[in-house]
Chain A
Amino acid sequence: MEKFTVHQGVAAPMLQINIDTDAIIPSREMKLVSKQGLGEGLFAGWRYTLPNGREPSPDFVLNQAQYEGTSILLAGDNFGCGSSREHAVWALKEYGIKAIFASGFGSIFYHNCIRNGILPVVLQNDQVLVLAKQVQRDPQVCQLNVNLVDCYVSVLDTKNDKGKDANEGLSFPFSILPAQQAMLLEGLDGIALTLKSKSKIENFKHTYQAQYPWLA
């Protein structure tokens, strides 16, 4: 898995609350028995003028020129609620999204992000709104700098802030569980990591099955 340490990029606001995984990737867009080929279906219901069409809807934020190359989303509360479909994360990843800020996430979605190298950050809603306001001035110029090593996000004016430290301007610290931070920073494969405890699991299984034989 790709590592996530520091990322700078264009951020787009999608501030509706409760954006669900059906909206992120409609089921009709999940055509292949595969983790690939999903980027085009990302937000299909909003992004295109017709349900099965591919004509971009001019109203949709990611279709607007100033948001070209968006790699960060600023979202409303409970982003990624609903269906467990990991396709939502695969689609975001294929599209190029690296980090998402929201005041809350659907819990399965949150874990799916971590497993796929996308950073989900919980901030207070008013902090998300402040960031949105900042980037909206000129999204291509006012980008966000996300630092997972030191856990902060800052606004970086790519025209005027040259030479400044990334954390000099407006910045917010955030927190993330050490387990999740480690997974992302190292780009770890959870299975490989867990298999290091293989003998512990075997021992556990032994005792467990003796104690609860009907589950063995």
Chain B
Amino acid sequence: MDRTLFEKIWQHHLVEKLDDGAALIYIDRVFLHERTGSIALKSLAADQRPVVSPEHVFCTMDHIVDTLVGRGDNTQVPSGKNFILATREACIDAKIKLFDVTDPQQGIVHVVSPELGIVQPGATLVCPDSHTCSQGALGALAWGIGSSEAEHALATKTLRVSKPKTMKVNFNGELGFGVSAKDMILYLIAAYGAAGGAGYVIEFCGEAVTGLDIEARLTLCNMAVEFSAFTGLVAPDDKAIEYLKGREYAPKGALWTQAVTFWQSLFTDEHAQFDKVIDIDCAGIGPTITWGNSPQHACAVDASVPHIDKNATENQRKAMQRAYEYMGLSPGTPLKGLPIGAAFIGSCTNSRLSDLRLAAKVLTGRKVAPGVNAICVPGSTTVKRQAEAEGLDKIFIDAGFEWREAGCSMCFFAGGESFAYRQRVVTSTNRNFESRQGPETRSHLASPATVAACAIAGCIADVREYL
């Protein structure tokens, strides 16, 4: 019988069907970070449960660590140092590979894992972090879990999982000028709502998806969780194989050949059935930006803040009103031209080399508008070094951007560094939730190229005018 890609990976990892209707799924790799991983490891140790395959577990310092040049274990997050120290100690005790604060391979977990070839096609990978779905870009089944489930995976090499339904999202046609993977995913979430993918594992398909390079696919899959999906994935093709070749943790020699043969079998069979199919015509997607406090509040950058739909339920109405109020906007206001106070390029969504290259293209020979606090935080130390080797850092710095060390940084506010109270920020991150980037900070999500254009303009701007 014809099967979907997800079904194949699921079957390969099915240890047993459980009496209670769930399945016991074998987990190939676990990734941890200092914010949630330290608690999981500590709690396991307290219960005297060993990590069964420490060689398959990795950990990085990304969430709490400072991104200022010259950083160490001290961090501006109150009591953040405790998380860093506890993580280091727990990793040593459990014999887990840690990408520590000053490690040349340190960085955001979802940037580091593909970059080092830790995530691989057809593998299962979990991490106590919701954006683990990013890693589905390489054809892996990768999903975010809580700390208790991380303990379960570490102690048993398996998880008890209820099987998700399957959805196929076809991005048909070609992407327009100045349109990127970030615009595609924002468009999808706006069209079907932030809960549109609830209960589904999503396979992203269509010419526009196969046309994306791996880094852009990582951006696309990154926000599957913002669509409430179990996870997202893309069938591994030659680009994925080419991407992994030679990476540190990717197979080598005879194992490589064997792996590639297997990876080439990882696709959805022609007549396989999905529980749901969505078709998107890419011709309708322009540079996209959010205007409200949910990722579903996204629209074309040259549109206006939408009015409340006349068929909206009371709850939806209230949500819209809250969004207007929180963002300090009224319906009908054009987004283009709204003055901004800050611009942020970074996060697991958009901080890879290709993202920085695109932003640098916009910034070359230009200056950030006066009064705009512009910051670039590469996703990993590796990305940072590569960007510096290409001279991208100079372009950012000359334009007036701060150039930081790698980490999550101001993607989220943990009581340390943040954007200003009610400041309007255009950001390449994935969450515009209330106070996500600072006390009542007003975040507008967009592609890194759009962020760069807005930084130059000093207001929300259409990147196509800067390319």
Which A residues form the contact surface with B (CB < 8 A)?
15-18, 20, 22-23, 26-35, 45, 51-52, 76-78, 81-86, 89, 104, 106-109, 111-112, 115-116, 125, 177-183, 190-191, 193-195, 197-198, 200-201, 204-205, 208, 212-215
Contact = CB atoms under 8 A, between A and B. Distances in A.
B178 to A, nearest CB: 29
A35 B435 contact: no
A213 B251 CA distance: 9
Q: Which 6 A-B pairs have the closest CB atoms?
A: A28-B415, A179-B20, A214-B251, A179-B22, A86-B146, A112-B146
Contacts of B198: 78, 104, 107
A84 B36 contact: yes
B155 A191 contact: yes
B454 to A, nearest CB: 24
Contact of A31 (B47, B78, B225): B78
A53 B173 CA distance: 52
A193 B18 CA distance: 11
A213 B146 contact: no
Nearest to B44: A191
Given A23-B434, A84-B130, A84-B144, A190 B414 contact: no
B194 A81 contact: yes
B355 to A, nearest CB: 22
Contacts of A84: 36, 128-130, 144-146
Given A22-B431, A23-B434, A33-B38, A51 B439 contact: yes
Contact of A201 (B79, B156, B296, B315): B156
A94 to B, nearest CB: 15
Contact of A125 (B123, B148, B315, B431): B315
Interface stretch (B209-217, B233-241, B252-260, B384-392): B252-260
A106 B228 contact: yes
Interface stretch (B96-104, B274-282, B316-324, B334-342): B316-324
Contacts of B318: 15-16
A34 B122 CA distance: 34
B49 A33 contact: no
A112 B144 contact: no
B79 A197 contact: no
A106 to B, nearest CB: 6
15 contacts: A17-B316, A22-B412, A22-B436, A27-B415, A31-B78, A31-B415, A45-B434, A81-B228, A84-B36, A84-B130, A111-B149, A125-B313, A179-B162, A191-B152, A208-B12
A78 B130 contact: no
Contacts of A208: 12, 26
B148 A86 contact: yes
Contacts of A23: 433-434
B19 to A, nearest CB: 8
Contacts of A85: 35-36, 146
A205 B439 CA distance: 48
Contacts of A104: 195, 198, 228
B194 A78 contact: yes
A36 to B, nearest CB: 10
